[in-house]
Chains A and B, each alone.
Chain A
């Protein structure tokens, strides 16, 4: 059974710091991994998607890496801003077995960036 874990559960940093959010998964047979942002009471916004054959993806101040063999992904946020405050979720799509189309999510990391 695929399980996704995110550490830490919450993180508070001062504005301007670079930070890393961690995601681990138990089954390396994944199709891809997706990072999302969720603001309180809102839906999810897709940030980055990494295919299983890729090592990293970048978008602006965000960089996501994937090490499939060790079952880990990191989301690096450079020069954090108060507007980055949100919950960040990672999710994997399984490669085989049932439910190949759906995503399996971690519980998220709640990020607070203090001005």
Chain B
């Protein structure tokens, strides 16, 4: 399977604990995105990387959240001191991110998501 993969698929944690999620993008994709989705809502942007550089962070990404993409390949999203309001599906996507404006470059491909439940 050469699609976007995420690990774990489900995570249940107690309030105050730290959690870390991993995303492996499609191998040749240089852009990687993190989104958060709550029930009945569309995904909301959190942050994105071009190669290893974190180019944009949403205001949703409080100081308890940190994301890395150390070698421009896989990425991790860590949430410290989790709160019940952090319960959501965390989605990762990747794209080729070319500069010619072609559909094949811009299309974002999503992983299956990590569902976080904070008790």
* B112 x A103 contact (CB < 8 A): no
- A32/B106 in contact, CB under 8 A: yes
Minimal Cβ-Cβ distance residue in B for A4:
B42
Contact among A42, A46, A98 with B112 in the assembled complex (CB-CB below 8 Å): A42
What residues on B are CB-neighbors of A46 within 8 Å?
107-110
Q: Which of A44, A93, A98, A105 has the most CB of B within 10 A?
A: A44
In whole angstroms, how far apart are the Cα atoms of A30 and B9 in the complex? 33
Known interface pairs A102-B45, A107-B42; A49-B107 also in contact (CB < 8 Å): yes
A41 within 8 A of B: yes
- A102 to B112 CA separation, bound complex (whole angstroms): 18
> In the complex, which of the residues B48, B106, B111 contacts A31, with contact meaning CB atoms closer than 8 Å?
B106
Does A51 contact B103, Cβ atoms closer than 8 Å?
yes
Give chain A residues whose Cβ lies under 8 Å from the Cβ of B97.
Answer: 101
Please tell me the size bucket of the interface on B. Answer: 20 to 34
The answer to whether B106 and A41 touch across the interface, beta carbons within 8 angstroms, is: no
Query: Is A106 an interface residue, CB under 8 A from the partner?
Result: yes
A105 touching B33 by the CB < 8 A rule?
no
In the bound assembly, the distance between CA atoms of A103 and B97 in angstroms comes to 13
The distance in angstroms between the C-alpha atoms of A51 and B104, with both chains bound, is: 11
Of listed B50, B109, B110, residue having the most chain A CB within 10 A: B110
Asked if A69 CB lies within 8 Å of chain B CBs, one says no
- A interface with B by C-beta (< 8 Å): 4, 31-32, 34, 36, 41-46, 49, 51, 57, 89, 91, 93, 98-108
Please give 6 more A-B residue pairs, beta carbons under 8 A apart, in addition to A4-B42, A89-B43, A93-B106. Answer: A46-B107, A46-B108, A99-B45, A101-B50, A102-B58, A108-B42
Which 9 pairs between the two chains have the least Cβ-Cβ distance? A105-B42, A102-B45, A44-B110, A43-B110, A43-B112, A49-B103, A43-B113, A101-B48, A49-B107
User: Could you show 13 A-B contacts with beta carbons less than 8 Å apart?
Assistant: A34-B106, A43-B111, A43-B112, A46-B109, A49-B107, A99-B58, A101-B55, A101-B56, A101-B97, A103-B35, A103-B43, A104-B45, A106-B42
